[in-house]
């Protein structure tokens, strides 16, 4: 087993610190280009700050509106603070572990320049902290800007559709530009400082971002859907009162949930996708630099990203309704197409004039094509205009059971289309790079192509996030409008904007999942190349067994998150019921319910459920690697990628189809609101909620956390025996690690299952006695 990261390691023993080497090897154009990339990244951040100032100057509306908006802000920030407090210790503990993967593992992964082990370890741990911090910042600031935007959108809706749209879209754009700016800045700076050593550091950076995103996705997802499902069950289904009815104690928690889940969680997740695609491209790019000694393998992806950021700045600022009442989706789409044309043109120019190799262009163009086809597939399976949603809507006529069945069938079918689109992209990448080189090198070229495809796909992240954040902002604005009893015309404007928000959200989700798989595939290849595996041979029993276990992980993870939502919703239903029956005046609407109580139940429930899935993601690859070796670990990764993608898209699209089937019925089909068909459609939507907003999207960061942990921890699984790297034997210490790891997972599952109740619940006897 030869270890590529070791290639060219200087055995001179020189311990001089060599940084910023990359800049020395760059030609003049490349030097300017790198500086330009940094400037563009900073420009993105400045643009975000500029938009924030603009938003904050807008009026917040009536006192009632301010009051509600403040309650949402308080809840959202209380949640994030508690979340950060829960994980901060783990993050620092992991930083130490990561330092050691660089230091102890430094026997295997040596610096190219003879930089000392402590420097590599420090860089890696520092990169990890920076990644986690950036991810947290994007989530935190993004959520807060959304929570500032919501009441302002509601206020603007009272006077002007155009203005409401602009405020909503720009509030979302802030998050988008933060993602763009911080993502590009982080990756480029690390490359500039560490150059040929940068893969060792970038992997830490990517891991920090992804891990934090995992926490934000899982915690936020459980929070938002516990609140949403709980509020719907007790309000819409049980009591027959409208969504956002102020008598329902869970409505504020539901609003908070939109922010912590759909804003903070989603922003951190897309930031992480944006990050990991560039990390995987740079890792493979550096390996190609070793082969070809050409720097464009590394600089091209950075330039592409910079072009994307610039396109996003220009195009997002141009988004506005051309006339009062124009379909908002049209305005947003116009901006997107504008951005796409700027970036694609620039890819072609860079590929031709700088790389002198159009394959770079083709590869990124495949990524854009993939984004378009994912958008098409998502649209086909979840749009109210197409056959699948119509089929689900029709099945509501025969009750909830057929509604669920048709949604499952459609979800299954859609995930087939999704994975075929990815398979075709990988195939095209292979077709483009098939002459890349011979033997192992060909693999390197092909998977570099896959990484470029991921880069291309996420080019317009700024626009995507702007579109996605738009969803929860207008959803919140709509809720505030309902709770503040705004004028009918304003309510109509907000409802129209809300409907657009649902479409934009579904599309972003599909793109995020596809990019997760491309990034994971590129990391999978990086793992293979870095540790010089000869093959990942499925006929070896260890590989096959671990491949089976890998496939089980996404199911286990989804089981944990879905059941967590179920438990959370159960507590909320009980609390709201308690307030309806035991607190005088709540049901009559004369007294405000205790919103804060439900907010704190959600917060506590989400925290408790957070640790198990994260532990599963971090511990499982380590246990597998130590126990069965690196080749088997690669088999494990393949199983995770395959099943993760299939489950994630199934859950996202089934959920989307149910959601929109409900909408078509609420718009009057089959009897409209209040009909039996409507009740069935609400059941479908409620089942779909945790699938599409908790379990499904949390699989993105899961897939990548597992791949990154594998790359990080692999060096510790190897030991040098007379010049050859081989699998470390199973010593007592390693057995201890394995046993402890497995015990930690089991203990954590046991802990999260413990039926500790939050909130107040009538005892069954008391309830029955009262009813009798």
Footprint on residues 534-593 left by its own copies (CB under 8 A) = 535-542, 544-545, 547-549, 551-552, 555-556, 558-559, 562-563, 565-566, 569-570, 573
3-state class (DSSP) for residue 545:
helix
CA–CA distances in Å: residue 525 to residues 274, 440, 544: 18, 11, 18
Beta partners for 720? Answer: 725
Asked if 653 is part of the footprint of its own copies (rule: CB under 8 A), the reply reads no
Contact pattern from residue 712 through residue 751 relative to its own copies, giving x for each residue in contact according to CB under 8 A and a dash for the rest: ----------------------------------------
> How far out from the chain centre does Cα 484 lie?
33
CA distance 223 to 455: 31
Nearest 5°: phi and psi at 721? -125, 115
When binding is defined by CB under 8 A, the residue of 398, 502, 675, 727 that contacts its own copies is 398
Query: The tokens of 146 are what?
Result: 């959304």
Q: Which is nearer to its own copies, 474 or 562 (CB)?
A: 562
When binding is defined by CB under 8 A, the residue of 62, 74, 160, 402 that contacts its own copies is 402
Asked if 410 is part of the footprint of its own copies (rule: CB under 8 A), the reply reads yes
Beta partners for 724? Answer: 721
Here the contacts of 98-101 (C-beta below 8 Å, separation 24 or greater) are 98/124, 98/125, 98/128, 98/204, 98/207, 98/712, 99/124, 99/125, 100/716, 101/712, 101/713, 101/715, 101/716
Span near its own copies by CB under 8 A; candidates 1-9, 209-217, 275-283, 416-424: 416-424
Nearest-approach distance from CB 357 to its own copies, in angstroms: 20
Nearest-approach distance from CB 637 to its own copies, in angstroms: 9
Contact pattern from residue 95 through residue 134 relative to its own copies, giving x for each residue in contact according to CB under 8 A and a dash for the rest: ----------------------------------------
Q: Three-state SS across 296-365? A: HHHHHHHHHHHHHHHHHHHHHHHCCCCCCCCCHHHHHHHHHHHHHHHHHHHHHHHHHHHHCCCHHHHHHH
Q: Are 343 and 307 spatial neighbours (Cβ–Cβ below 8 Å)?
A: yes
Contact pattern from residue 667 through residue 696 relative to its own copies, giving x for each residue in contact according to CB under 8 A and a dash for the rest: ---------------xx--xx--xx-----
Span near its own copies by CB under 8 A; candidates 336-344, 351-359, 475-483, 638-646: 638-646
Q: Which is nearer to its own copies, 152 or 662 (CB)?
A: 662
Site for its own copies in 616-635 (CB under 8 A): 634-635
Please name the residue that has the structure tokens 């400082």: 193
CA distance 435 to 677: 57
When binding is defined by CB under 8 A, the residue of 525, 652, 665, 703 that contacts its own copies is 525
When binding is defined by CB under 8 A, the residue of 528, 580, 725, 758 that contacts its own copies is 528
Q: Which is nearer to its own copies, 346 or 429 (CB)?
A: 429
Q: Which is nearer to its own copies, 26 or 562 (CB)?
A: 562
Nearest-approach distance from CB 13 to its own copies, in angstroms: 34
Nearest-approach distance from CB 416 to its own copies, in angstroms: 4
Q: Which is nearer to its own copies, 33 or 517 (CB)?
A: 517
Give the chain's radius of gyration (CA, Å). Answer: 26
CA distance 728 to 131: 30
Asked if 423 is part of the footprint of its own copies (rule: CB under 8 A), the reply reads yes
Span near its own copies by CB under 8 A; candidates 171-179, 263-271, 373-381, 418-426: 418-426
End-to-end CA distance of the chain: give it in Å, rounded. 75
When binding is defined by CB under 8 A, the residue of 252, 446, 507, 522 that contacts its own copies is 446
Sign of CA dihedral 347, 353, 358, 359: negative
CA distance 573 to 718: 52
Q: Which is nearer to its own copies, 361 or 570 (CB)?
A: 570
Q: Which is nearer to its own copies, 149 or 741 (CB)?
A: 741
Site for its own copies in 219-248 (CB under 8 A): 229, 233, 237-238
Per the document, the length of the chain is 772
CA–CA distances in Å: residue 415 to residues 234, 381, 557, 646: 32, 10, 18, 6
Q: Which is nearer to its own copies, 153 or 649 (CB)?
A: 649
Number of residues forming the site for its own copies (CB under 8 A): 76
Secondary structure element (H or E) that encloses residue 700, with its range? helix 696-713
When binding is defined by CB under 8 A, the residue of 150, 406, 504, 681 that contacts its own copies is 406
Q: Residue 507's closest CA among 305, 264, 684, 336?
A: 336
When binding is defined by CB under 8 A, the residue of 287, 643, 709, 712 that contacts its own copies is 643
Contact pattern from residue 172 through residue 211 relative to its own copies, giving x for each residue in contact according to CB under 8 A and a dash for the rest: ----------------------------------------
Q: Residue 287's closest CA among 460, 78, 437?
A: 437
* Cα dihedral value 135, 115, 524, 361, nearest 10: 80
CA distance 53 to 57: 6
Span near its own copies by CB under 8 A; candidates 115-123, 153-161, 595-603, 636-644: 636-644
Q: Which is nearer to its own copies, 161 or 447 (CB)?
A: 447
CA distance 190 to 589: 57
Q: Which is nearer to its own copies, 667 or 720 (CB)?
A: 667
Q: Which is nearer to its own copies, 443 or 744 (CB)?
A: 443
Q: Residue 207's closest CA among 553, 565, 714?
A: 714
Q: Which is nearer to its own copies, 294 or 413 (CB)?
A: 413
CA distance 482 to 309: 36
Angle, in degrees to the nearest 10, between helices 595-628 and 541-582 = 170
Q: Which is nearer to its own copies, 420 or 724 (CB)?
A: 420
Nearest-approach distance from CB 372 to its own copies, in angstroms: 20
Asked if 650 is part of the footprint of its own copies (rule: CB under 8 A), the reply reads yes
Span near its own copies by CB under 8 A; candidates 148-156, 347-355, 473-481, 523-531: 523-531
Asked if 409 is part of the footprint of its own copies (rule: CB under 8 A), the reply reads yes
When binding is defined by CB under 8 A, the residue of 291, 405, 734, 742 that contacts its own copies is 405
> What would the DSSP string read from start to end of 401-432?
HHHHHHHHHHHHHHHHHHHHHHHHHHHHHHHH
């Amino acid at each position: 087993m030869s270890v590529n990261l070791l290639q060219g390691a200087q055995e001179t023993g020189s311990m001089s610190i060599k940084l910023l080497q990359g800049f020395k090897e760059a030609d003049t154009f490349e030097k300017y280009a790198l500086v330009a990339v940094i400037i563009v990244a900073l420009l993105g951040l400045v643009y975000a700050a500029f938009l924030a100032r603009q938003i904050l100057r807008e009026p917040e509306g009536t006192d009632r509106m301010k009051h509600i908006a403040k309650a949402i802000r308080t809840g959202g920030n209380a949640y994030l603070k508690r979340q950060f407090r829960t994980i901060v210790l783990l993050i620092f503990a992991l930083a130490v572990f990561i330092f050691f993967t660089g230091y102890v593992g430094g026997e295997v992964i040596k610096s190219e320049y003879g930089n000392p082990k402590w420097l590599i370890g420090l860089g890696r741990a520092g990169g990890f902290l920076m990644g986690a911090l950036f991810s947290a910042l994007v989530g935190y600031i993004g959520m807060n800007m959304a929570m500032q935007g919501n009441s302002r959108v509601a206020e603007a809706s009272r006077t002007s559709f155009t203005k409401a749209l602009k405020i909503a879209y720009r509030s979302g754009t802030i998050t988008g530009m933060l993602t763009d700016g911080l993502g590009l800045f982080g990756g480029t700076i690390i490359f500039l400082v560490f150059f040929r050593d940068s893969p060792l550091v970038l992997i830490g950076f990517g891991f920090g971002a992804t891990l934090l995103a995992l926490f934000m996705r899982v915690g936020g997802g459980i929070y938002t859907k516990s609140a949403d499902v709980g509020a719907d069950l007790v309000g819409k289904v049980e009591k027959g009162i409208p969504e956002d009815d102020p008598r329902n104690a869970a409505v504020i928690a539901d609003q908070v949930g939109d922010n912590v889940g759909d804003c903070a969680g989603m922003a951190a997740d897309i930031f992480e996708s944006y990050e990991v695609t560039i990390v995987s491209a740079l890792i493979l790019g550096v390996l190609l630099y070793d082969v070809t000694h050409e720097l464009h393998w590394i600089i091209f992806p950075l330039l592409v990203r910079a072009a994307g950021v610039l396109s996003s700045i220009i195009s997002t600022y141009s988004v506005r309704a051309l006339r009062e009442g124009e379909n908002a989706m049209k305005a947003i789409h116009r901006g997107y197409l504008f951005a796409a044309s700027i970036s694609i043109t620039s890819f072609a120019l860079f590929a031709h004039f700088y790389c002198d190799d159009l394959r770079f262009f083709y590869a990124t163009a495949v990524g854009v094509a993939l984004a378009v086809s994912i958008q098409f597939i998502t649209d086909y399976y979840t749009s109210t205009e197409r056959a699948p949603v119509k089929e689900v809507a029709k099945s509501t006529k025969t009750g909830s059971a057929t509604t669920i069945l048709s949604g499952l069938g459609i979800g299954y079918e859609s995930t087939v289309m999704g994975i075929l689109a990815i398979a075709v992209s990988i195939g095209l990448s292979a077709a483009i790079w098939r002459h890349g080189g011979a033997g192992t090198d060909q693999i390197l070229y092909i998977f570099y192509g896959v990484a470029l495809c991921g880069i291309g796909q996420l080019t317009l992240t700024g626009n995507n996030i702007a579109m996605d954040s738009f969803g929860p902002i207008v959803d919140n604005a709509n809720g505030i409008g309902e709770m503040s009893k705004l004028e009918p015309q304003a309510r109509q404007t907000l409802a129209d904007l809300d409907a657009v928000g649902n479409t934009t959200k579904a599309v972003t989700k599909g793109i995020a999942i596809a990019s997760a798989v491309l990034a994971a595939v590129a990391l999978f290849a990086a793992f293979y190349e870095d540790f010089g595996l000869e093959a990942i041979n499925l006929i070896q029993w260890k590989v096959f067994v671990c491949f089976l276990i890998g496939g089980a992980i996404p199911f286990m993870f989804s089981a944990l998150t879905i059941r967590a939502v179920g438990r959370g919703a159960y507590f909320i239903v009980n609390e709201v019921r308690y307030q309806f029956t035991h607190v005088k005046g709540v049901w009559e609407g004369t007294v405000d319910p205790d919103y804060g109580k439900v907010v704190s139940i959600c917060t506590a429930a989400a925290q408790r459920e957070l640790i198990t899935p994260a532990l599963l993601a971090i511990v499982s690859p380590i246990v597998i690697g130590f126990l069965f070796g690196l080749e088997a670990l690669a088999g494990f990764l393949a199983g995770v990628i395959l099943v993760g993608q299939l489950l994630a898209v199934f859950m996202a699209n089934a959920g989307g189809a149910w959601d929109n089937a409900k909408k078509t019925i609420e718009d009057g089909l089959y009897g409209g609101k209040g009909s039996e068909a409507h009740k069935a459609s609400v059941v479908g939507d409620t089942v779909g909620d945790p699938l599409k907003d908790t379990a499904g999207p949390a699989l993105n960061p899961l897939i990548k956390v597992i791949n990154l942990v594998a790359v990080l921890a692999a060096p510790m699984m190897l030991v040098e025996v007379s010049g050859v790297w081989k699998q470390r034997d199973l010593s007592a210490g390693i057995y201890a690690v394995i046993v402890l790891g497995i015990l930690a997972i089991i203990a954590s599952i046991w802990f999260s299952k413990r039926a500790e109740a939050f909130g107040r619940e009538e005892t069954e006897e008391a309830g029955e006695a009262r009813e009798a």
